Structure 1
Amino acid sequence: MGDEMTAQPTRPAAGSGTTDPVDLPAPTATPVPSAPPAERPGLWSRLGNPPRDALWLGFGAAVLLLVGGTGGGGTLIHDPILTNSPLGFWRYGHGHELATALMYLGVILMAWAWVKLGREVLARRVGGRAVLTTAFAWMLPVLVAPPLFTRDMYSYLAQGALPLFGFDPYGVGPEAMPGVFTDNVHYFWQDTPAPYGPLFILVAKSWAWVTIQLGSNMVVGVIGTRLIMCIGLALLVWTLPELTRRLGGRPALALWIVVANPVTVIHLVGGGHNDLLLVGLLSVGCLAALNRRHVVAIALVTLAMATKASAGVALPFLVLIWAGHLEGSFPRRLVRAGAAGIGVFLVVFTGVTLAAQVDLGWLPALSAPSMIVNWLSVPTGIGEFLHTLLAGVVSASKQPFINVSRVIGGIALVAIIAWQWWKARDGEADAVRRAGIALLAVALLSPATLPWYLSWGMAILAMVPWSARGLQWLVFGSLWLMIVYYPNGEAALYNWPYLIVCALFAGLAARSLLRPDPLGLRRSRPSAPSVAARAG
């Protein structure tokens, strides 16, 4: 083995009658050649030898998303580059249709590249560094693209600009402040107060101020907002290897699931959603708790909650980890850890609220997302289904059905969180895993669900062991979630023929993860190695 010491030759004992060849005197005229110096590994080796076909295929897909996004994405009302220029056709009529088609082609190629990379990960032909290099190559073009499949970044900038002009972002919507920031906000959110926490208001206000100093350049505003959100991605990548080992998973597989995932590349990075900050702070906080840095852990997850309230669900699970590191009976340990955790929470949350110069108006503003009505939310979907089913019998509006289903869904959500918390009372890694389950339940059972909400729990659950069948379902769900919104940010959830066609493609991609020839088109198919035992 490479770490064993080299054996030294020994002389035979005197009178043994044998002669060991290694004891013969070496010729003095011929010097022993020295070993050649070790060659420095090339750049590709230092990057982990990522699979070239997957890397360049995904990079090309991202370039298509960039080019198509300038005409078919969440474009500016007054684009400083395309408006009143020969390239303006790209945003209207046939040009817009072609730009949108390029975006869909980019999504298909990105999905193909992700599946190809997944096969390499499952076969253990690439490691975590290769996956990370590939994912970052895919992200580079979308860093400078217009918002993809959303217009939320314009809302962020407008909500950050409101306090700069003397408005309370928790009291009024962007329409109270006419101008370039408001012009680009989606009409649905024009009169809606900010549903985000004081930390995010502070971040958005800071970058809105920079944008104003640069002449209210919205292109700079969008790119800068996206880069700030990517701080959360950097935190997630930094903690993922160690946290994955603590949770029993494989770092390379976890990176493929949560970083190289098209939902991350296109929706979270391309869309610039603040959920990236949430998952980054959450992952660092969970790792700090496992490493017995409990004050830091509570502080970090409090900051995640001060970005989006949903992250607060993880706090009681971190208290259990803290209690598990104390001595005494469980009730006594729980009280001590809970009291200390509440103290840290109050100090951090009060500090960031004062720094943002806002009040607790955020709490009533949390109801804003419930204005979204779509069936991705399980309770909302059940309410809509029941209304449709009984429409011929009961003459009533849809909203009462939705309201009742949401109340039942809220009760079920509280029960799930409470059960997961109680099952996690032994603390340690199991508490982190169950926190991920609770966050996933929040995303699915809240009154409103958007595709990127599922990243809250998946950022944690990506780090646990996975079965091959589970990974196929992951591919299907991720790729299907990619297209439930149109490239310009409008919802596609009620275009049933479109959704069915996309589901068929997503199912084909999921099958091809384990079967390189999913349709059986080859005459003689080589027996593919089983990856079921390699997935975890």
Structure 2
Amino acid sequence: MATTTDSAPSAETPAEETAAARHARAGEMSQFPYRTIAMGVVGSVVLMLASLGAGGILVRDPIIGTGPLSWMRYGHGHALATAVLYVGFGLVVWAWVRLGRYALAGRIGARPIVIAAFAWMAPLLIAPPLFTRDVFSYLGQGAQLLHGLDPYDYGPAALDVLPDVVQNVHWLWQTTPAPYGPLYLLVAKHTVAITGNNMIAGVILTRVIMLAGLAGLLWALPKLVRHLGGRLPVTMWLTVASPMMVIHLVGGPHNDLLMLAFLTIGVWAALERKHALAIALVTVGMLIKPTAAVALPFLVWVWANRLPGEESLFRRFVKAVVPSLAIFGVVFTVGTWVSLGSFNLGWVTGLQAPQLIANWLNFPTGLGEIAHTLVNLVVDVPSSPFVTVARGAAWLALVGVMVWQWWKARHGGREAIMRMGITLLAVAIFAPPTLPWYLTWGFVILSAFPWRRVHLAVMVAVSMFLVLVYYPTGEQSLYDWWFIIGVIAASLYGAASLLKPDPLGLIEAWRRHPVTEHRAEERRAEETPTSHATS
């Protein structure tokens, strides 16, 4: 295995890519991308340093506080910190896209991509929360459970201890019940039991716990790729090294990462004919984040199609669904009881809390807002009826999509898993709210299938967009229209860069600039040996 430094990969024909993919699968790599990884590390360090002023900072920060660096958090200082943070983000994305070109060309295997991902995540483990403040809600709800308050009945504002934990919860979630599964509340409870009122330690420990979810993904994804036909380097690049993972799920952090670990391992178990284990694992994932429940009906089809005999599909389905319901019931009941000390279904009503978020990133909400804007040109009316009607129609459409995809999955196998991934994406897009990291639910599953290059370019644009539509502080930027235009332009450029390095020819134009060429000629003249006559 050669260990030369990296350079921009050249375009290859499909036949050459196929051969290169076989070499990459066999572990043969032509180079190790030292410079690309180093670029991402520099960007991640810049992100970490700038986030001290521009990230999800604490109300009372014991590190910067009112000291000599407090200028980073106010006025021009904050604007400068934000600009520097986006530079760091740009470097991470640039490195990620370069790494993607190597993976697509078959010039590296999965190992350098995983190394890159960990190297880029490392500085963010100690950074303030990035592009979100959800981790403060996790800690607030864990503190409630620790001190005897039901997080499904009260918001963190009801807690009269651990003031730093409570005051850093976003105002929108101060009085709303928890929308998370009981098992994750148990995790958050023990996190707060260890870190107490120390918010910095609480955020760091939460990230360390999320790394356990990442370890589960790293274990499951190669096995899923073997079943679903993808290319492991591309899957690892798309899932583990992407800005959605590095910046959202780890830099955030978000508990979706733990749920995804149980989901992917459960899908692998189903494909390995360990159906009871698959249902149990995905149910555990549901106890972390309820969305995982969407996958369970598809796993029943996988089980039904693996049953021996020549019975009808209906009879095989019944034979699979009965034990599936029994396993689900036992795991769900025991998990809830162990987590909360009682059989508490309060999280079902808690799921209504996130619906308070209304923005156009959620497709039906956006349609409702467009309709309101058009009608409002004629008559002054409130927006809520339009959004409510659009969301109601979207729920009906979503139910139809879910049922249709589930029925299309009735033959089991890879088809059922693909339909599962599509349905998870549909839930993230159509069910309010749509938060950027929600789309990882379907992306992670679908990443193990074969991808066309142009579709991966679309994923680059989507990944960049979904990080940037929130400010680094965790507040949304969706109605800052000039900013969003810039985000879209940057995302499209990132997508084009996967297909062709320097797609606008900016670097090449700079190299051809007259001043640059003149200086190059001067350097060549200086380096050319000349003879002088001596007198």
Q: Name the TM tier (shorter chain).
A: 0.7 to 0.9
- Call closer, same or farther: CA 1:55–1:400 in 2, change over 3 Å: same
- What is the CA distance between 1:98 and its match in structure 2? 2.2
Name the residue aligned to 1:270: 251
Alpha-carbon distance in 2 for matches of 1:498, 1:250: 36
1:390-414 CA distance string (max 9 Å, x none): 1123442111111111111111111
- What is the CA distance between 1:97 and its match in structure 2? 2.2
Contact 2:30 2:107 in 1 (8 A): no
Contact 1:47 1:133 in 2 (8 A): no
Query: How high is the TM-score relative to the length of structure 1?
Result: 0.87
2:189 to 205, 220, 236: 205
**Pairs within 5 Å for 1:390-405:** 390-405=375-390
- What is the CA distance between 1:206 and its match in structure 2? 1.2
1:335 to 295, 300, 318: 318
Alpha-carbon distance in 2 for matches of 1:175, 1:147: 21
Q: Is structure 2 residue 167 aligned with structure 1 residue 183? A: yes
- What is the CA distance between 1:523 and its match in structure 2? 7.0
Contact 2:29 2:108 in 1 (8 A): no
1:85-113 CA distance string (max 9 Å, x none): 33333323333222212211111111111
Contact 2:183 2:288 in 1 (8 A): yes
**Pairs within 5 Å for 1:120-139:** 120-139=102-121
1:38-87 CA distance string (max 9 Å, x none): xxxxxxx9999531121001000100111011111001111121114333
1:317 to 298, 319, 342: 298
Alpha-carbon distance in 2 for matches of 1:437, 1:233: 22
- What is the CA distance between 1:231 and its match in structure 2? 1.4
Alpha-carbon distance in 1 for matches of 2:474, 2:262: 26
1:400-438 CA distance string (max 9 Å, x none): 111111111111111111111111111112211110000
- What is the CA distance between 1:512 and its match in structure 2? 1.3
- What is the CA distance between 1:361 and its match in structure 2? 1.0
**Pairs within 5 Å for 1:493-532:** 493-521=478-506, 522=508
- What is the CA distance between 1:310 and its match in structure 2? 1.2
User: How many matched pairs?
Assistant: 478
Answer with 1 or 2: which has the greater Rg: 1
**Pairs within 5 Å for 1:438-453:** 438-453=423-438
- What is the CA distance between 1:332 and its match in structure 2? 1.0
Alpha-carbon distance in 2 for matches of 1:83, 1:505: 34
Q: Is structure 2 residue 440 aligned with structure 1 residue 458? A: no
Q: Is structure 2 residue 227 aligned with structure 1 residue 246? A: yes
Alpha-carbon distance in 2 for matches of 1:133, 1:320: 37
- Which one-letter code corresponds to 2:440 in the other structure? S
Alignment identity in percent?
51
**Pairs within 5 Å for 1:160-309:** 160-178=142-160, 179-212=163-196, 216-309=197-290
Alpha-carbon distance in 2 for matches of 1:161, 1:112: 39
SS at match of 2:273: coil
Name the residue aligned to 1:382: 367
1:352 to 317, 335, 338: 335
Q: Is structure 2 residue 100 aligned with structure 1 residue 118? A: yes
Name the residue aligned to 1:53: 35
**Ranges in structure 2 where 5+ consecutive residues have no aligned partner:** 1-26, 512-535
- Call closer, same or farther: CA 1:248–1:46 in 2, change over 3 Å: closer
Higher helix share: 2
1:269-291 CA distance string (max 9 Å, x none): 10010111111110000000111
2:413 to 405, 413, 428: 428
Alpha-carbon distance in 1 for matches of 2:296, 2:121: 31
- What is the CA distance between 1:242 and its match in structure 2? 1.4
Alpha-carbon distance in 1 for matches of 2:101, 2:35: 12
Alpha-carbon distance in 1 for matches of 2:69, 2:385: 48
Contact 1:160 1:207 in 2 (8 A): yes
Alpha-carbon distance in 2 for matches of 1:368, 1:333: 39
Contact 1:286 1:318 in 2 (8 A): yes
